[in-house]
Amino acid sequence: MAHVNPILFQSATERRLRDELLADKDIQRALRHLEEHPARSAPLARRRRLVSDAFRLTYSTAPAVMAALTACEETLGYEGPVEVFVHPEPGLRAAAVYRPPETPAIVLSARLLEVLPEAELRFVLGHELGHLAFGHFTLPLPATTMAGEASGRIVRHTTTLRLYQWSRAAELSADRAGLLCARDAEAAASALFKLASGMSSAPVKSELRAHIRQVDALLSGASAREKPREEEETLGLFSTHAFGAPRLRGIAAFARTRTFLRIAGRYASEEGHLDEDADRLLVNDLQELAPSYLEETSGSAELLRRALVQGERVVSPSNEEGTPLPSPEAARRELGVTLARVNQEATLSERARLVQHLTLVAAPDGNVGDEGFLELRRIAGALSVPAWLVDEALRGAAHPLD
């Protein structure tokens, strides 16, 4: 497989979202704050936590792992330094950690190395290298959303939600890197299933084939793209676990592109879809997560904004400053009236997105107290959406770039 420039297979949509965020003044201010206060840095603490009990691998101690890493580096055009550690935990885990000037590190659990066959290991290594190759750690999460001064958090709610939206796209870009290293969509899907479930076997063929058929239909005609989503498919867009529909669809779509087929050595004539077609599917999925209603002027957008503000007041009243707060009972009554209207007037997607967004603004690092957690679940019930949406949003906030 030929050496390539990472920009060739990074999602153009993800790159655009990242560039827009890096140009945002609030983001720039938050990043300066993190640089000026390195001792408070979450990435530094995460690296220390992961690496402190881990063992650094070398060619002499783990030749197969290091050979797979070298092959992935060559495939992805990654030329920077990176260390690989194995952590003695019983679950299946993998993570990349990087905070300059530290050396980037990939931390793998011992059980993952015991369970994954070679192609699946290459996918995992490629995914983590992808985060490094694409510069994803220039936007450290959740540290950027949590950066604060005396007056409160630096990053506004709209930007916090855009950061989360970008992090979902970043995972799909990293999956592309992993797929190029594995060269096998089934191996990629199998690795994702094992990471999500902790199981050592992965019956993924039928699930992957279903997504491939769906992708082929969506890429082949506008009528399929314009067809309304079923309820299960709509809710699946808010999944953050590794084996969720958005990531499987992303793998299936990229595996059908000319870029993948060419780099993987399978390209023939005009076979395969254009990268722009695959990115269009990503855009369709990501628009369901977009906080566009926070800036729109319609009556429905105003209703959703009111529900977000009132919901945050109930879930985490300490987040709001500068205005007198109603009593908890009055705040709940006020929210209940608004939620009843939202439940009647908003679509399923809008209600699911509201629960996700409320969870993220209340707990941008994925940490929420028991009472706040119960309030979020009550809000989900009032909006007639499943309570697991809260769990998914908390997981995505706590582990945005795994």
Query: Cα separation of 120 and 355, whole Å?
Result: 34
Q: What pLDDT is attached to residue 148? A: 87
Tens digits of per-residue pLDDT, 136-187? 999 999 999 999 877 789 999 999 999 999 999 999 999 999 999 999 999 9
- Asked if residue 309 has pLDDT above 70, the reply is yes
Provide DSSP, 193-236: HHHHH--S----HHHHHHHHHHHHHHHH-HHHHHSPPPHHHHHH
Q: Which residue has the tokens 């076997």?
A: 201
**What b/e string do you get for 329-362 counting C-beta neighbours within 10 Å, with b at 16 or more?**
eebeeebeebbeebeeebeebbbbbbbbbbbbbb
- Asked if residue 74 has pLDDT above 90, the reply is yes
Q: How many other C-beta atoms are found inside a 10 Å radius of the C-beta of residue 81? A: 9
Tens digits of per-residue pLDDT, 332-380? 999 999 999 999 999 999 999 999 999 999 999 999 999 999 999 999 9
- The SS3 assignment for 190 reads helix
Helix, strand, coil percentages for the chain (3-state, nearest 5): 65, 5, 30
| Four-residue CA torsion sign, 165, 167, 169, 172 | negative
- The SS3 assignment for 351 reads helix
Strand partners, 148: 153
Closest CA to 375 of 392, 393, 362, 357: 362
Q: How many other C-beta atoms are found inside a 10 Å radius of the C-beta of residue 11? A: 25
Residue type, 22: L
Tens digits of per-residue pLDDT, 244-296? 888 999 999 999 898 898 888 776 556 788 888 889 888 888 999 999 999 99
pLDDT bin (cut points 50, 70, 90) of residue 328 is confident
Average pLDDT over residues 8-13: 92
Q: What is the pTM of this model?
A: 0.91
Q: Are 65 and 84 in contact (CB under 8 A)?
A: yes
pLDDT bin (cut points 50, 70, 90) of residue 86 is very high
